[in-house]
Amino acid sequence: MKKIYDERHIMFSRARLVKGSERYVTFYKAHPEYKKGDDEIRGMAFPENLRKSDMFKRKFFPVFSNNDAYMKTMYDFLDSLKKPETPIEVPETFNTNIKGIAKQYGAKEVGIVKLETLHYYDTHGGVSEPLGDLYGKKVDKHYTHAIVFFKPMRLDSINRSPHFEELLETESVYLDVAFIGSRLAAYVKSLGYDATFASEIFSPAPLVPLAFDGGLGQIGMTNHIVNQTYGDRIRLGAVFTTLPLKPDQPVDFGLDAFCKRCSLCLMNCPNQSIKPYKRNVNGREFYKFDDQSCFRLWKNMGTDCGVCIQSCPYTQGIDLETQNWMKNDPERIDAFIKDYLKDKKGRRVSIKTPLDSVKGED
């Protein structure tokens, strides 16, 4: 049976429901299995629990606290942009051009997906407050293609997980991918085609399945996209459009066999939120995951953790020759992991000193 994605079911939507409100009552009447765990961790302002002084928060939260407002201006500009009445015809080879332009704007890798109904969320879940109240409204599914891309996060920030530097980098790159998406959507609209873009505050579809279908990586044990070069220290973006483009295909570099032998993300997760059991969702393999446990950790730490990202050997970098040597070979994967643990002196790389951006502060 095919699964229809509903944004109201994701943790970020459920955590925003106000206890006792009509939406709260309606949702948990239909889905009582979420209620007890969600009530224990309700609320989205998890950075306020960061174990730093009020002065630290006053100094450094403004580095990213205006992100939503910046993103809203991008959507406002895109809405104000007039689309030509007659679209410019593009050849099938235009994939090369559109990918090159996306990279010009700052994307690192780009894939194309022909959209099916099951790619989309069916219903918005209220994570788009800066754009208005979309909760419960049907998602616009008239776009035919998605241009999906990513930008890497800095390794020296991710290797400071679960501390503030990881949150700082995550939020910075979220804004970067929104800017890339907004520029690319504006370009496509200027050619005469409908276009919108995904961001931290709005998306018509979950991005991990799109990134998989677009060939940007495989789905790892964390349920993140793991890229061959950057692991899962990436943030995804996408443009949804009616521009006709030739779709890309998924890739297989042996991650499934690797994750089964490695499991460092599972072992290092402070709340044991990652599970080793797989499930098939619309033809893609995902691992079971305890989103309440994960978000509880975020609330306790005041950051979005990132230990699972940091723990992945692909995040730290595995050269292509080694990847090819051990692909789908359990004995060679075990040999690699043994050497990796010895080289890294433990199960995960962890930098204890602060980055210059927050150095000298408590």
Divide the 362 residues of the chain into consecutive groups of 10 and give the mean pLDDT of each group.
92 95 97 96 92 94 96 98 95 93 98 98 92 95 98 97 96 98 98 98 97 98 97 98 97 97 96 94 94 96 96 97 98 97 90 89 64
259 CA to centre of own chain: 19
CA angle 146, 152, 158 (to 5 degrees): 135
pLDDT of residue 181: 98
DSSP alpha helix (H) spans, the chain: 11-14, 22-30, 35-40, 54-60, 67-80, 94-104, 155-158, 164-190, 207-213, 255-262, 264-268, 291-301, 307-311, 313-316, 320-326, 330-344
pLDDT of residue 361: 65
Residue 315: domain span: 1-362
Structure token digits, residue 355:
């980055």
Query: Could you give the strand order of the β-sheet that contains 109-114, starting from the edge strand earlier in sequence?
Result: 109-114, 145-152, 234-241, 195-197
Helix (H, G, I), strand (E, B) or coil at 261: helix
pLDDT of residue 362: 64
- Give me the phi and psi of 145, to 5 degrees please: -140, 155
pLDDT of residue 26: 97
Alpha carbons 26 and 77: distance in angstroms, whole number: 35
Alpha carbons 349 and 309: distance in angstroms, whole number: 11
Q: Which residue, chain included where needed, has tokens 């990796």?
A: 340
Alpha carbons 181 and 175: distance in angstroms, whole number: 10
Between the alpha carbon of residue 196 and those of residues 54, 104, 138, 238, the distances in Å are: 38, 19, 16, 9
Domain total of the chain: 1
Asked if 205 and 117 touch (Cβ cutoff 8 Å), the reply is no
Alpha carbons 115 and 143: distance in angstroms, whole number: 7
Alpha carbons 99 and 215: distance in angstroms, whole number: 13
pLDDT of residue 127: 86
Q: Which residue, chain included where needed, has tokens 């089964």?
A: 260
pLDDT of residue 76: 97
Between the alpha carbon of residue 55 and those of residues 45, 71, 356, the distances in Å are: 17, 26, 17
Q: Which long-range contacts (CB under 8 A, 24 or more apart) does 115-119 make?
A: 115/141, 115/143, 115/144, 115/145, 115/146, 115/205, 115/240, 117/141, 118/2, 118/3, 118/4, 118/5, 118/282, 119/146, 119/205, 119/209, 119/210, 119/213
pLDDT of residue 147: 98
Helix (H, G, I), strand (E, B) or coil at 275: strand
pLDDT of residue 92: 79
